[in-house]
Amino acid sequence: MNEILEILGENLDITENQYNAAVESYEAVGDWLSKEGSFLFPYSPRIIPQGSFMLGTIIKPICEDDDIDIDLVCKLNGKPAHWTQKHLKEAVGDRLKEHSVYKNMLESQDGGQRCWTLEYSDQANYHMDILPSIADKNFTVLLNEAFNNHQQLDTNKLAIRITDKENIFYSIMTETEWWLKSNPFGYAKWFFQRAIYSSKRMFALSESVDPVRPFQKEKMPLQRVVQLLKRHRDIMFSSDEYDSENKPISIIITTLASRAYDKGENIADAYINIVSRLRSYIETKLNPKTGQQERWVSNPVNEAENFADKWALVAQKEEYFYAWLDKLEEDLSAIKYGENKGLHILNESFSAQYGNQVVKRTFAEYGEKNRILREKGNRKMAIGTGLLGSVGKPIPNHNFEGNI
């Protein structure tokens, strides 16, 4: 089953062409923002991926014609003393509007709550959410040090200050310490430390911070499991039975999976262990602001922040999350059953959980891969299931009459 999960993960991932197109696009945006003559030029604006694109856990939408969401940070090393969040947000937007192409790609001429969104063509099928932010002048050095040093570091040094229209100081405070703090790169450092299972994979940490790193087809088990979990969620909440606005959010799924990961090198074992332990990492804590006991999924780089804070405000969010966990555990049992009953049953189980088309493609690739290995004489079949591997009954090649 491990091979099937690996192929499935590859099929859920964006393609190398999609990845390279996105990198080329956001590099071009960064070049425009930082071009000499731009009013942002003195502050060395730089575009850096964040979120699932940086973590290597991004997945295609169920409908492959839908947009891929790419989260980016526009980091400035400073600002004019009189600038508020509003000034920064508008400065980035105004610079984008000066470009004849980007101006027409903006989702809104006023921008969103935090980001500017660029919508690319139907052929590209992605949009970019660009978050204006201010960081320490030594941020790039600190970032490289953090991701090249495999020891525990103070990730708080990687925090940035961001723009947020709903922040009460949005158009008032010029001092950035009053601005909303975010730490996507500290979180990424934590995630990769959890994901790396051997010294052989340490390269992944230092390369992960490179904004133009090459496409990585091979992923670590934790990355693959997060992709599988996110796809399972998307399939479940694509039903009209649910309000998709309240489906489990990716940051909670990623955080719980990372905490539950036991450093296993096998995707199948990692998936089984993570699914069986996910709910045990949801805590109940006293919220000091409300005085109420609440479900709590703490931000690993800011324990005071609760990723599940909206559960107390919208009961359906918590209800849906536990319904998803129940379904996930039930479906894991179905996979285990299918693994013992043969490929046909396993195929049916996977199709229900991850989608017919992607699973059909996965099993076709699995069959073709094993046909090639069988012809080389180093593939064996597990008696009773038909699953192929390195142990079991030797499989003779097909002859030209179609007999075995």
Which pLDDT value is given to residue 254?
A: 99
**Tens digits of per-residue pLDDT, 5-29?**
999 999 999 999 999 999 999 999 9
Does 400 score more than 60 pLDDT? no
Question: 128-153 pLDDT, tens per residue?
Answer: 999 999 998 878 787 877 777 666 66
Task: Write down all domains in the chain, each with its CATH number in brackets.
Answer: 16-215 (3.30.460.10), 220-340 (no CATH), 355-394 (no CATH)
Beta bridge partners of 69: 127
Q: What are phi and psi of 237, to 5 degrees?
A: -95, 10
Alpha-carbon gap, residue 105 to 127, rounded angstroms: 9
CA distance 60 to 404: 39
pTM value is: 0.89
pLDDT digits (tens, 9 = 90+) for 274-306: 999 999 999 999 988 889 999 999 999 999 899
pLDDT digits (tens, 9 = 90+) for 304-338: 899 999 999 999 999 999 999 999 999 999 888 87
Separation between Cα atoms, residue 235 and residue 70, nearest integer Å:
20
pLDDT in tens, 361-399: 999 999 998 888 877 766 555 545 555 555 555 544 433
| Whole-Å CA distances, 33 to 36, 94, 153 | 9, 10, 31
Count of C-beta atoms within a 10 Å radius of residue 94: 12
pLDDT digits (tens, 9 = 90+) for 183-230: 999 999 999 999 987 655 555 555 655 666 788 899 999 999 999 999
